[in-house]
Amino acid sequence: MNFTTSDKISVQKIEKSRINEVDFDNLTFGKDFSDHMFECDYINGEWVHPTIRPYGPLTISPAAKVFHYGQAVFEGMKAYKDANGKVFLFRPDQNHARINKSAKRMAIPEFPKDIFFEALHKLIDLDRDWVKPGNGNSLYIRPFVMATQEGVSASPSDQYKFMILLSPVNAYYTGDVKVVVAEEYSRSANGGVGAAKAAGNYGAQFYPTNLAREKGFQQVIWTDANEHKYLEEAGTMNVFFRINDTLYTAPTSDRILDGITRKSVIALAKKDNIPVEERPILVSEIVEASKNGTLKEIFGAGTAAVISPVSTFNYKDVTYELPPTAGGYSTKFKKELTDIQYNISEDPFGWRYEV
């Protein structure tokens, strides 16, 4: 992908960087933010005033519709720095397409591609020093849009604010994850907004995830809302199951997010001649595969964690242990993905995008 910057975006630079105030060796994911942020407003039917300015608070009306009707969507991306100091994004065109898909589902106007990419270029270039090299280090990028029109009438907003924040991060999870299979709560339902990265989707997950944590599990594997028979996602990630040497994952739908890491894992598996099946997966068949020893791996796939292996799953108060993942598919795919992201290996797919 080629891109040429223009002068559409005004830039207000900081007077003094805050970078020396941050302990990059001990980061809490998503807590610290870089020196600058991007914002653009939707007013009178068009996106106007694209601006990069110093990171700081907003002034917003308490009657803004985002607070009352939840009109907000977001994306998650990362920037990576290689050993030579070059900075790369990973499949950013997919993030742009998906935030617009999410926006459409939430009756939010789509954001122009040219301004999106120019904002990424200029913002990351300004805060390039916040992208630290080394495996596990990256700059998490949070584009989001929210409804800003004042009023509490139950109708779509006619004003919005699109923003991009940058947050330096280390690895999201360290070690394998213990999960519980949902039997009561659901992440999404047919005809709903499960395929959109809508803010409310994630807010609704917090309570059942807290219940799981009280029982010693870090995440929930979500099941279908109708019968809780089919496995769909793991926490905020897509989920994969390895039975013998075949990889299984649920097909995307209006309930399941079209994950960028998910589709990248599928592409890598096909390149490596690993059988992949995208089909509905019964809880019962995973339980049976665990009992008879054919279930080799479960792992989540998403931007924040990249690949997150599962060591234990619990269903109907019975705990099932998985074999050690060292040398398995999760290890293999994580290395292949991160080698592309950090410009360590060749990129046969054209996923890497230099900033």
Does the pLDDT at position 173 exceed 70?
Answer: no
User: Is the pLDDT confidence value at 201 over 70?
Assistant: yes
Contact 205, 220 (CB under 8 A): yes
pLDDT number for residue 22? 97
Q: How confident is the model at residue 77 (pLDDT cuts 50, 70, 90)?
A: very high
Q: Which two tokens stand for residue 72?
A: 């907000």
Rounded Cα distance between 44 and 260, Å, is 33
Confidence at 325, pLDDT banded by 50, 70, 90: confident
In this prediction, residue 305 carries a pLDDT of: 87
SS3 assignment, position 250: coil
Q: Alpha-carbon distance 22 to 6, whole Å?
A: 32
Rounded Cα–Cα distance for residues 247 and 265 (Å): 10
pLDDT at 62: 98
| Neighbouring C-beta atoms of residue 129, cutoff 10 Å | 12
Task: Compute, in degrees rounded to 10, the torsion defined by CA atoms 40, 106, 166, 125.
Answer: -50
Mean pLDDT (whole number) for 200-207: 94
Task: Quote the tokens at residue 198.
Answer: 């809508």
SS3 124: helix
pLDDT in tens, 255-283: 999 999 999 999 999 999 999 999 999 99
- Cα three-residue angle 63-68-73, rounded to 5 degrees: 110
Q: What are the residues facing 319 on neighbouring strands? A: 314
Closest C-alpha to 340, from 276, 265, 270, 259: 265
10 class by beta-carbon count within 10 Å (0-12 exposed, 13-18 middle, 19+ buried) = exposed
Architecture of domain 177-341: Alpha-Beta Barrel (3.20)
pTM: 0.95
Share of the chain above pLDDT 70, in %: 98
Residue bearing tokens 């997010």: 257
What distance separates the 2 farthest-apart alpha carbons in the chain?
63
pLDDT value at position 172? 75
Q: What is residue 57's predicted lDDT score, i.e. its pLDDT?
A: 97
pLDDT band at 218 (very low <50, low <70, confident <90, very high): very high
CATH code for the part of the protein at 10-170: 3.30.470.10
Q: Could you tell me the pLDDT band of residue 156, with boundaries at 50, 70 and 90?
A: very high
The answer to whether residues 159 and 121 touch, using CB atoms and an 8 Å cutoff, is: no
Cβ atoms 142, 33 nearer than 8 A: no
pLDDT at 6 over 70: no
Region 59-80: mean pLDDT is 98
Q: How far is CA 234 from CA 88, 110, 244, 297, 332, in A?
A: 27, 28, 21, 14, 20
> What's the Cα-to-Cα distance from 46 to each of 4, 50, 113, 266, rounded to whole Å?
22, 11, 14, 38
C-alpha–C-alpha distance, residues 66 and 264, integer Å: 33
Half-sphere exposure for 211 (CA within 13 Å, toward CB) = 12
In this prediction, residue 4 has a pLDDT band, given cuts at 50, 70 and 90, of: low
User: How many residues are listed for the chain in this entry?
Assistant: 355
Reading the block at residue 88, the tokens are: 């790369």
pLDDT category, 2, cuts 50, 70, 90?
Answer: low
Specify the domain boundaries for CATH 3.20.10.10 within the chain: 177-341
Range(s) within the chain of domains with CATH label 3.30.470.10: 10-170
Of 40-54, 115-129, 163-177, minimum mean pLDDT range: 163-177
| Spatial CB neighbours of 97, under 8 Å, sequence gap ≥ 6 | none
Instruction: Find residue 301's DSSP bridge partners.
Output: 238, 307
pLDDT at residue 67 in the model: 98
When pLDDT is averaged across residues 172-199 and rounded to a whole number, the result is 90
Q: What is the pLDDT of residue 176?
A: 77
* pLDDT of the residue at 75: 98
Residue 343 binned pLDDT confidence (cut-offs 50, 70, 90): very high
Determine phi and psi for 99, rounding to 5 degrees. Answer: -65, -30
**Of the candidates 141, 145, 93, the residue with the CA atom closest to the CA atom of residue 114:** 93
pLDDT the model gives residue 324: 86
